[in-house]
Amino acid sequence: MGRRARNSTPMPGVDSAAMGRAAADGADRIYSVIETGGAKPHAEEITDSWRRSLNDHRVDPASREAPRVLTAQELVDARGPVAGLIAIAREENDRLHAIVGKVGYVVLFTSAEGVVVDVRGDPSRADEFAYWGVWNGGVWAEDVEGTNGIGTCIAEERPVTVHRTQHFRSRHGSLSCCGAPVFGPDGNLAAVLDVSSIDPRLSDHSHALALSVTMNSARVIGERLFRETFRRAWILTVLPAAQPAEPMMLAVDDDQRILGADRTARSVLGLDSAKLADGVLLWTFFERAQSLFTRKSNEVSVELERNGDERPWRAMVAPPVPTRTAAPDGGSGHAPDAALSPRERSILELIGQGRSNKEIARSLGISPETVKSHIKNMFAKLGVERRAQAIYRAKLD
């Protein structure tokens, strides 16, 4: 899949001979660590990945090949299955880049296969980012590039920092990457959120801070994905009494059957897909409290009594997203599940002016494919299928 980037010549200011020496030295260091097990403390967390990269994936640590990048059509195909997730993550990715972009990071959002399907970065540095492979279409699976923030995050399903020479391929020794997993409503890996820097002077301290904010944004995206998936159900965000503990999310129907449970809830409560398919009741785990599900508007804070635990578990309970009766225009009658973003509002205004997707793309400086993705997400929020319906519904809401 994909191709190596066409331009494998060094960027201006890159010392080709130095890169060659660094590649050889880096490869020798990796071979030594793997053979002797003598990893330095800062490298211990990634030595398993180094071994996989060498022994299982047969990646050459001294290779100076350019990173693998998808063709334009391959990138369109890769984005298709995750278009909805890209739309859900868009606002949080914008917010994250507003924080880390100030110090030169690029924000990469990838599929579960490690393909960069959405990116935030300084447009004036796009050629630099593309040279290093940290741009749209970059393929960062561990079996392709060896140890790196995205691929190793996928392989180990945990937040990962890979700083400079911790990368398996010595060519990537100037990069610093922080990858955080985004888990889907089924508890499986859905995407990776990564921030990368091409500045070799970046400090370990700065990178640790970048990992922290990236992990937080990944959790926000996972929560939004869960809420969107189960928007017609009651959503419980529960904090176990034992501290420290991560909040867990449950989706419950009107009969208090658990419809969905996030990765944390599955682990804490011992839930799996089979139990969920059987329609396990919420009261299997908590003392019955029917009154929790009588409020039809607004999220409320409650305390749940966990069976066998004297300490209360705090929770926020949000009712299902309401539906409306059929609209006068014959639309579906669904209320919008989320407010339109500023970009979606801009696109809707241009649609109202009769502009085509290509004209909208030129006006906003984005690709027609991005316009299509925005429109698809906007239609889902407004519960419509046609442009005229979207314009009418937006006016009502």
The 10s digit of each residue's pLDDT in 72-87 is: 999 999 998 899 999 9
Amino acid, single-letter form, for residue 220 = V
Asked whether residue 360 carries a pLDDT value surpassing 50, the answer given is yes
pLDDT band at 367 (very low <50, low <70, confident <90, very high): confident
pLDDT band at 23 (very low <50, low <70, confident <90, very high): very low
- As a whole number of angstroms, the longest Cα–Cα distance in the chain is 74
* Across 289-299, average pLDDT: 79
- Calculate the average pLDDT of the chain: 84
pLDDT, one tens digit per residue, over 150-192 is 999 999 999 999 998 899 999 999 899 999 999 999 999 999 9
**Local structure of 240: helix, strand or coil:** coil
So what's the pLDDT on residue 395?
A: 58
* Fold classified for 342-396: Arc Repressor Mutant, subunit A (1.10.10)
Asked whether residue 2 carries a pLDDT value surpassing 70, the answer given is no
**Helix 387-396 with 342-352: angle, nearest 10 deg:** 120
Asked whether residue 326 carries a pLDDT value surpassing 50, the answer given is no
What is the Cβ-side half-sphere exposure of residue 34, based on CA atoms within 13 angstroms?
A: 18
More confident residue, 295 or 211: 211
Asked whether residue 238 carries a pLDDT value surpassing 90, the answer given is yes
pLDDT, one tens digit per residue, over 186-205 is 999 999 999 999 987 777 77
Residue intervals of the chain classified under CATH 3.30.450.40 are 3-224
* Fold classified for 3-224: Beta-Lactamase (3.30.450)
So what's the pLDDT on residue 365?
A: 84
Contact 142, 57 (CB under 8 A): yes
Q: How far apart are CA 334 and CA 321, in angstroms?
A: 9
Region of 140 please: left (phi>0), alpha (psi -120 to 50) or beta: alpha
**Local structure of 279: helix, strand or coil:** coil
- From the centroid of its chain, how far is CA 51? 26
Residue intervals of the chain classified under CATH 1.10.10.10 are 342-396
**Residue bearing tokens 């890979």:** 162
Q: What does residue 140 show for φ and ψ, rounded to 5 degrees?
A: -115, 25
So what's the pLDDT on residue 383?
A: 64
* Across 308-337, average pLDDT: 66
* Across 290-296, average pLDDT: 79
pLDDT band at 333 (very low <50, low <70, confident <90, very high): very low
Whether omega before 244 lies within 30 degrees of 0, making that bond cis, reads yes
**Residue bearing tokens 């969107």:** 228
More confident residue, 388 or 33: 388
What is the Cβ-side half-sphere exposure of residue 264, based on CA atoms within 13 angstroms?
A: 16
Question: Taking Cα atoms as reference points, which of 185, 2, 173, 158 lies closest to residue 78?
Answer: 2
pLDDT band at 329 (very low <50, low <70, confident <90, very high): very low
The neighbouring-strand residues paired with 139 are: 115
Contact 125, 12 (CB under 8 A): no
Sheet architecture: strand order including 248-252: 258-261, 248-252, 234-239, 312-318, 300-305
Q: How far apart are CA 295 and CA 177, in angstroms?
A: 45
So what's the pLDDT on residue 188?
A: 94
Task: Tell me the CATH number of domain 230-318, given options 1.10.10, 3.30.450, 1.10.132, 3.30.460.
Answer: 3.30.450
